[in-house]
Each structure stands twice: as structure tokens, then as C-alpha cells.
Structure 1
Amino acid sequence: MALLLSALFVCVSFCTVNGQIQVPYVPGITPYNLPGRVTASTFSLKMPLCYFNQTLTGCTAAQCEIWLVVARNATAQTLFDAIKGNILNTNVNSYQNAFTNPGTFFLTKVGTQQSFVCDEPTTVQVFRVGSDTTCTALSPTCNGPLPPNADLRVKYVLIDPIISKKVEVESQWSQPILLTQVKTQQSIDEGFGKRSGAMIVITVILTCLTAMLLFGLITAVILPYCGVNRGKQEITAPTSLGSLRVKRYNTHNVHSPTTSTAVTNPNI
């Protein structure tokens, strides 16, 4: 019921600005807590369901196209608003030229009109701006990565590609969308004073564990070589005849007397 009342409110709230129908819709970042809602080169937008379902005379719901205008700043907003009543030349206002100077924008296709009806969505529907990393010069309207630290503004527009080839219906401009700031390596302070207490404790523990591991490794390598000659015992193998005892004896021709013997010379 609430969805029908919302649709009725939208139907009676259309207004015409410079020949284009403007719907009361402000694009914004998806409220769902999705990973990477805003990154350094992308962001996820809510889909404009139930706002672009009015019937046009120039094209059918399967032909009318919903596009997203991505403007770099307020200057680019003003430029688009000045030419939106003309036939849009996507080759001039291409993705490749969008960020070469401050006052530029580009358009990228989101889908056809029939994709934004008032049916209750069964899944989370978002449009991720900047998700196409394969952009080339042959695809001027590709949804390419956005420049780091960019401050962007976006709006949804409905274009009649059959007859007028102009913007027929548009949303309002979004609030400025600031991408995640990217720090340069030179701007990162690596001083010891900038480190947290937990980081210091972890660093000290890892250093001590590394030193202990290194000491244990050195000990395990050196210790076997230090005790290689210790604990050796001479082992006598038993014979098949049992213990063999050999008497000690001395031969007379090599025996040296232990005491001297005096010999009397008979001639003296």
C-alpha cells in the first residue's frame, strides 16, 4: 500500500524544466551496508525505481533508455543543463574526455525504461558507477573507473533514442559524492610516535619469538658437533670360546733386568 501511495505521489509531482520533465528524485549512495559502497574509483547508487515509468510518445518502454550523467563538479553540472535540450553527442562528451578539464561530464547507459517499473524488488538493486575496467576509445559511454579523490555529482535521465534523441525526463542532481581519499606514499607518517600501543607490543613479541627461534636453530645445528668425541667406550666383542685370557710373558733376549748384578772378574 505504501508503495502505491508513493507511486501516486510521484505521478502528481512531475514538473517541466526547460522542456524536460523533472521527477522528484535525488540520486544517492545505496543505504544498504554493501562492501565497497564508496571506494577510491567507484560508488554504488540507488536505482530510480518507479520514477521513470511514465509513457512517452517517441519510444516504448523497451526502447526508451535510462542514462546516468556523471559530472566532475558544479561547472560540469551547469554545462550539461545548458545542452540537455539538444541532441546529445556522446562522442564529444565521452568517458575518455570527462576528466581532462574541470568542466566536463560523461553519460553511461543504465538500462531501458522497462527496467525501472514499480514492482517490489526481490533483491538489492544498485548501479555501481566506475565498475568497467575495460574502457577503450571505441566505447565513449563506458562506465569506467573514476579518478582518485574526485568530487562528483550525478543525475538520471531518460533519453528518446528513436525520434528526438534528447533528454525527455530527468531526476535532480545528487549531492556531491566524495570518493575515498587516496594517500600518497610521501604523506604517510611512518614515525615511531605514530604507531599505536598494540602495534608496538605485537612488534616486540614477534621480534622476541624470532630471536628465540633463531637461537634454537643455531643450538640444534652446533650441539651435535660439540659432543662428537664424548661418551665413547671401547667394546670388546666376545669370542665363541668365551673369555680369552692371555698370560703375559717376556722373552729372554729382549728382557731388561730390573736389578743390576755384580760380576767378579777372576783376573783381578
Structure 2
Amino acid sequence: MGPWRYLFGLCWFLQVHFARSAVPLLANSDFFSLNPTQTTITLERPFCMFKDAIDVYLFAIVKGATNIQVADAAKKVIASNYTGTQGGLLGPYQVAKLDNPKCENIQASNIMADPNKYIVRVGGDVNCLTDPNFKGICNPPLQNNLQYRFTYVFTIGDVVQYQTDWSPPISTVNVKSSGTIDTWPGRRSGGMIVLTSILSTLMFFVFFAYIVGFAYSILNGSQTKEVSRHDTQTTAVLQKAQEPGDITYSSTLAGSERYAATQQA
């Protein structure tokens, strides 16, 4: 039994070593492209790390916090929360308590069918801080543009058995102020935009006045042309050969008044 005892001890040591060298990882970008967001960070669940653990705690901490203890002297999990640690600024807080995931062959079809079975969304609870009747671990939205670190703690009866290393810092997305967003393609200043708007408005009024003036000139010209037309018509009169004493008329004007032509000698 001696060699088997040493072999068992070596396997236990390797399990602890590799588990502690493992860290919480960001969820696969093929399935969760918007990760991190301004208020959430989505992590993969710890599959196939410790088979003999019952529960898994996920702790979060803000980068730079000096207190990183997740267990007390008796190795019991510290029941720290988001409010008591000022959102991870003073130390780690509990994000979630999970059943220890069993080893399984994770396929894309499984993830698409039930993605929450394979991930933990840090910052996914928007009501726990404001709901006075909320009970349990509070996992409120994270602060934007802030770096967080995470660790998985494996327990039996809240007694720590194993703990992964803390993850590298993962930053949430920065939120831009509405006043700093440049919505003008040419990157003009605010005064330039106002001036352009005023000039555009004036150009509209000038164009409108031009259209009105053009239409008025057309209508006025049409009325003048109608007034200048004659109501009389000229009827040609065939001239016969002149004989002495005959009176000839060069034309006859038909209308309301008739004018005799001058008598030819």
C-alpha cells in the first residue's frame, strides 16, 4: 500500500496545483460577443476542476484592493457582500454560489440551448440593492471603466477545499459622456454647427422668396398680355378697277365703330 499511498498523494497535489493555477476565464466570444459590457462581465463556469467539492463560490474584487482573503482562520467562507466591501474596493465580495459543475462534453448546441448553464454573469442583478425584501447573494451591476479580478472557491459545507488563483484584471467598458460624443462627420465645433444651421435656414427663406417672385412675375405677365389684345377684326375688301368718279376704300374695319378710308382722287 505504500507506493499507492504516495501515488494518491501525488495526484492530490497535482490536482490542487493545477486547480490553483487555473483562473476564471471570460466566456467564449463566439457565443458572447458583447463581453465585457459597461456593467457586466461574463465568465465561464469551472467545469472539471474539483470532483469532490459540493459548492463553488465566485468572489470579485476591484484591482488594487489590499484585502484578498475569502476565508477566515477556520477556513470557512467569509460571507462578504457588495455593500459591505463598497463594491469590492475594500475586499472581495461574493458574486454567486453555484453547484459544482460535473464534467461533461460541452458542445456548441448545448451552449446555444441553455447558455446560463455554462456561464456566470457578474453584475447581472439590477434589483437586489433596491429591493428591501431581497435575500441571498447580491450581484448588482458593476461600475463602468473599472478593473475587476475573480476567483473560484470550492467548498464542502462552506469549508474551503480549493481556491483558484485570482484572474488577471478585467475591465468593464468605459461610458462616454454625452457632451463628448462627436456627432458631426466633419468634427466641427458647437458654434460652427449653430452657424451652419442658421445659414441653412436663411438659404431656405431666400430660395422660397425667389420661387414666390418668379411665380408672381409669370402671373402678372400673363394678365398684361390679355389686356393688350384687340377686340376688332380686319376684313379685307377686294378692290375693283378704278374708274373716274368711283370711291374706293382700302379696308373695312369691323367692330363697334367703323372708320371710312380717305377718298382717293
TM-score class, shorter: 0.5 to 0.7
Distance in 2 (CA, whole Å) between partners of 1:103 and 1:210 is 56
Q: Is 1:67 matched with 2:57?
A: yes
Q: CA deviation at 1:105?
A: 2.5
Contact 2:66 2:91 in 1 (8 A): yes
In the alignment, residue 133 of structure 1 is paired with which amino acid?
V
Q: Cα–Cα, structure 1 residues 226 and 102, in superposed 2: closer, same or farther, change >3 Å?
A: same
Q: Cα–Cα, structure 1 residues 224 and 71, in superposed 2: closer, same or farther, change >3 Å?
A: same
Distance in 1 (CA, whole Å) between partners of 2:207 and 2:97 is 63
Q: Cα–Cα, structure 1 residues 100 and 35, in superposed 2: closer, same or farther, change >3 Å?
A: closer
Q: Is 1:130 matched with 2:130?
A: no
Report % sequence identity.
17
Q: Is 1:109 matched with 2:105?
A: no
1:221-246 CA-to-partner distances (Å, cap 9, x unmatched) read 55434544221225999xxxxxxx65
Contact 1:65 1:109 in 2 (8 A): no
Q: Is 1:199 matched with 2:186?
A: yes
In the alignment, residue 14 of structure 2 is paired with which amino acid?
S
- The equivalences for 1:34-183 within 5 A come to 34-52=32-50, 54-56=51-53, 64-75=54-65, 77-82=67-72, 85-89=75-79, 93-99=80-86, 102-109=89-96, 111-113=98-100, 115-122=101-108, 123=111, 125-136=118-129, 137=132, 138-139=134-135, 141-160=137-156, 164-183=157-176
* TM-score, structure 2 as length reference: 0.58
Which segments of 5 or more consecutive residues in structure 1 lack a partner in the other structure?
Answer: 1-9, 57-63, 238-244, 250-268
Distance in 2 (CA, whole Å) between partners of 1:11 and 1:119 is 23
In the alignment, residue 248 of structure 1 is paired with which amino acid?
E
Q: Cα–Cα, structure 1 residues 220 and 49, in superposed 2: closer, same or farther, change >3 Å?
A: farther
Q: Cα–Cα, structure 1 residues 220 and 79, in superposed 2: closer, same or farther, change >3 Å?
A: farther
Counterpart of 1:231 in 2: which secondary structure?
helix
Which segments of 5 or more consecutive residues in structure 2 lack a partner in the other structure?
Answer: 1-10, 113-117, 232-253, 259-265
Contact 2:87 2:93 in 1 (8 A): no
Distance in 2 (CA, whole Å) between partners of 1:42 and 1:200 is 32
Larger helix share, 1 or 2: 2
Higher RCO by CA contacts (8 Å cutoff, separation 6 or greater): 1
- Aligned-CA RMSD value: 4.3
Q: Is 1:27 matched with 2:17?
A: no
In the alignment, residue 224 of structure 1 is paired with which amino acid?
A
Distance in 2 (CA, whole Å) between partners of 1:76 and 1:159 is 24
Counterpart of 1:229 in 2: which secondary structure?
helix
Distance in 2 (CA, whole Å) between partners of 1:83 and 1:121 is 41
Q: CA deviation at 1:69?
A: 0.3
